[in-house]
Structure 1
Amino acid sequence: MTDVAHILKVLIVEDDDSKIDEWNDAIAAHNADAGNKGFQVEHVVSKSVPDAKRKLDFHRFDAAVVDLRLQVEEGVTENNSHGNELVRHIIATQPLGVVVHTGQQSEADRDGYGVPQVQIMDKGDGLDQVFKWLAKHMDMFLQLRMVRAAFDRETARVFFQSIWPRWKHWTNGGAENGIALADIVARHVVAHVHDALLSAGGDATHPEESYFVPPLKSRLDTGDLLDRDGKTWIVVSPRCDLANEGKVNTILLAACDDISAKWRDLTDSKKEKECANLIQHARSPKQHFLFPLRDLDSNQRGPWMIQFHDILALPAEQALKELPSLRFASLSPLFVPSLVERFGGYFSRIGTPSFSSD
């Protein structure tokens, strides 16, 4: 008997009854050998885009396998590529693995999907390729399921302890004032869940949590990392200056020195004290440590030391036009205050003049 954690839940979107029979037989054969295969498949079949959307709302799937030519609605067939609409809907609303399994690969809207992770397979190559793809990504699907479980657990706690008891105060006047109550509650829940999970983890974070890759905001923001003229920079202008266009005439960037070679030497030789010293900015007020990250091509970048004494000032009009497209990551909100505090501390120091014995 296969462990329940190793059951993948898959939505099969296909309107051809003979193909559905093939799927049923293939999944039954796979599950009969689940001990060797490493996982079972539980599947739900849908024949049209509206029905598939309903099933996505009422079930939690790990992956979806979508044919492009589907029934317009239940029982109504015509030549179409409605599967593209469903794939775009999934990408916009749910974190699932997606396979386009079609006999018309040229009709797959690769550019319209907007993400490279959608796998496009030819029906003529059979169903085994889908099972191999599921096996390849099984660990990711299972980890994502654990993420959902953790989020739901903390959301339930916040809901029963905080939101429900105060619900009437949330709703009073909301509709009349045009307040998007769902957005307010969502932000409230996310903030609580984030702190709860951080506390449960002993207030320890993974380096990748330091960043959003790519940046979430379309506009320039404090903590944005970018490449310019062969050098890495970070935006250190205050957020209020960047949020209000025309407020300032100058945008400030601080240089980021790549210390990856030094970091690699220290981590490879397990010199924990030296690593800890670097993380503490090498005890220097003029610099700030940034952890390494993985970019969208899975290349490691950094770590860096931000150099507060190496500042580039650009005209705001030029910076706001030129820099957003040069960004590759941005610091997450949890880590921006530390950067701003240390940058402000460095520039607010007074110091004293040197003394001469002459």
Structure 2
Amino acid sequence: MHILIIEDDKDIRDSYEKQIVLYNMEASNLEVTYELAINFEEAKSRLGENFDAVIIDLKLDETLEYKGRLILESIKTNLRYISYVITGNPEIIEEEADTQNAFFKIRVKGEDDSNFYLVLEEIEKTVRTGITKIIGKRGQIEKYLHDIFWLHLSNSVDLWEDDKRSDEEKEKSLLRYTLSHMQEYLDLSSTGGLEKYHPAEFYITEPVKKNIFTGDILITDRSERCVILTPACDIDKKNGTRKADKILTLRILSPTEVDSEYGNSGMSKTKMGKFKQIIDNKIPRYHFIPKAGSIEGGIIDFQDKYTISDTDLEERIEQKHILRIATISNPFLKDVISRYSSYYSRQGSPDFDSDELIKDLF
């Protein structure tokens, strides 16, 4: 993993370099390579290069300007690096403390969690997910975009050149077109077959759309969960209004709410077989959704449905009585909608006496 170290203090730089030597001696660790920037100008000139992570000191000279803040601001605005601020003056970026996440952390010099070896271990844990290879400056997404640009868009961009829509509309249309091609690449495994998905891909967390929308998973203040299944054309809000004044929701049940034996390690083979059918979405009434992180798995019950007025729902969300915790991602949402529609569009017919039919045939 390749790291940019921005630090003006020579003693601290020497300490970091010694820790890197020790880190690289451990065979199970990823090898660390690094570049040094000892002042603001050097650091600024290196931004945009292909690094997995950046270590930032806020005070980069003898002045009181703390120019490391500008480096951090530039990274968080324009770049995609795992970023660690290791500083003796955390109060200088106090407003950033609440924005810490998996890709951005603040460490105070002298405290236990600022130990550079431990910081390297944390960075490696994130790098091993492959995230920096995927969305880094020269990541897999860049390769896909290169192929889409030369192999696909080059043969079809003329369809947009004569389009009568506004420039902004054409740009968004082209973006959707590009992303649909990228999805095709992402679905392929290294052998050319279809790739298997991770359960986390089932959800978009937190919901991207500003307003409630089809596929949103809600949780009430009574810990009940449901999913919105109002058609997109009816729930879409235009000019402050939507076609639907009632929002259709389906309850998401825990396995034990479907059957008290589900989830019991001692359940019978018959029950286990039926439970597996539910997980495989072989039972028309139910649709299984997986556990992913803080989102519990569950079973959508197509029969357990209710509606709520859109104004009441939005008011309860605004008051935090109902939370939008995730949205089912589009490839999986289509299947939920399709199975729900099929469940209620079944056409029954009268039964024949099969014994009589067989007798007539023979």
Report TM bin, short chain.
Answer: 0.7 to 0.9
Aligned amino acid, residue 12 of structure 2: E
Partner of 1:241: 234
Aligned amino acid, residue 134 of structure 1: L
Partner of 2:13: 23
Q: Deviations over 1:197-227 (max 9, x none)?
A: 2122624212111111222222111111111
Larger radius of gyration: 2
* Percentage of matched positions with identical amino acids: 20
Partner of 2:152: 162
Compared with structure 1, are the counterparts of its residues 33 and 242 closer, same or farther at alpha carbon in structure 2 (3 Å cutoff)?
A: closer
Compared with structure 1, are the counterparts of its residues 23 and 333 closer, same or farther at alpha carbon in structure 2 (3 Å cutoff)?
A: same
Partner of 1:5: none
Partner of 1:301: 296
Which of 109, 112, 116 is 2:94 aligned to? 109
Partner of 1:119: 105
Which of 185, 208, 217 is 1:225 aligned to? 217
Residues 87-102 of structure 1 aligned to structure 2 (within 5 Å): 87-102=72-87
Compared with structure 1, are the counterparts of its residues 205 and 124 closer, same or farther at alpha carbon in structure 2 (3 Å cutoff)?
A: closer
Aligned amino acid, residue 277 of structure 1: Q
Aligned amino acid, residue 186 of structure 2: L
1:83 counterpart = 2:74: no
Output the CA distance in 2 between the equivalents of 1:230 and 1:132: 38
Output the CA distance in 1 between the equivalents of 2:165 and 2:231: 35
Decide which moves more: 285-294 or 171-180: 171-180
Partner of 1:322: 316
Which of 115, 133, 140 is 1:129 aligned to? 115
Q: SS where residue 214 of structure 2 aligns? A: coil
Compared with structure 1, are the counterparts of its residues 222 and 100 closer, same or farther at alpha carbon in structure 2 (3 Å cutoff)?
A: same
Q: Deviations over 1:129-158 (max 9, x none)?
A: 123211233132142234344323333322
Output the CA distance in 2 between the equivalents of 1:98 and 1:350: 58
- Kept in 1, the 8 Å contact 2:16–2:116? The answer is no
Aligned amino acid, residue 120 of structure 2: L
Question: How far did 1:164 drift?
Answer: 3.2
Q: SS where residue 157 of structure 1 aligns? A: helix
Aligned amino acid, residue 216 of structure 2: D
Q: SS where residue 293 of structure 1 aligns? A: coil
Q: SS where residue 329 of structure 1 aligns? A: strand
Question: How far did 1:101 drift?
Answer: 1.1
Q: SS where residue 168 of structure 2 aligns? A: coil
Partner of 1:74: none
- Kept in 2, the 8 Å contact 1:170–1:181? The answer is no
1:253 counterpart = 2:252: no
Output the CA distance in 2 between the equivalents of 1:147 and 1:265: 39
TM-score normalised by the chain length of structure 1: 0.77
What stretches of structure 1 of length at least 5 have no aligned partner? 1-7, 72-76
Aligned amino acid, residue 332 of structure 1: S
1:313 counterpart = 2:307: yes
Partner of 1:346: 343
- Kept in 2, the 8 Å contact 1:84–1:109? The answer is no
Q: SS where residue 215 of structure 1 aligns? A: coil
Output the CA distance in 2 between the equivalents of 1:181 and 1:44: 43
Q: Deviations over 1:212-245 (max 9, x none)?
A: 1222222111111111132111111111222123
Decide which moves more: 82-91 or 150-159: 82-91
Q: SS where residue 4 of structure 2 aligns? A: strand
Output the CA distance in 2 between the equivalents of 1:321 and 1:81: 44
Output the CA distance in 2 between the equivalents of 1:264 and 1:181: 54
Partner of 2:47: 56
Question: How far did 1:314 drift?
Answer: 0.8
Compared with structure 1, are the counterparts of its residues 329 and 47 closer, same or farther at alpha carbon in structure 2 (3 Å cutoff)?
A: same
Output the CA distance in 2 between the equivalents of 1:158 and 1:107: 44
1:214 counterpart = 2:203: no
Q: Deviations over 1:233-287 (max 9, x none)?
A: 11111112221233221111111001278358499x9x9966641223352x222
Compared with structure 1, are the counterparts of its residues 89 and 317 closer, same or farther at alpha carbon in structure 2 (3 Å cutoff)?
A: farther
Output the CA distance in 2 between the equivalents of 1:100 and 1:110: 13
- Kept in 1, the 8 Å contact 2:229–2:249? The answer is yes
Output the CA distance in 1 between the equivalents of 2:42 and 2:164: 31
Partner of 2:279: 279
Compared with structure 1, are the counterparts of its residues 31 and 159 closer, same or farther at alpha carbon in structure 2 (3 Å cutoff)?
A: farther
Output the CA distance in 2 between the equivalents of 1:20 and 1:127: 21
Partner of 1:195: 184
Question: How far did 1:350 drift?
Answer: 5.0
Partner of 1:332: 329
Aligned amino acid, residue 94 of structure 2: D
Partner of 1:10: 3
What stretches of structure 2 of length at least 5 have no aligned partner? 352-362
- Equivalenced residues, count: 329
Q: SS where residue 262 of structure 1 aligns? A: coil
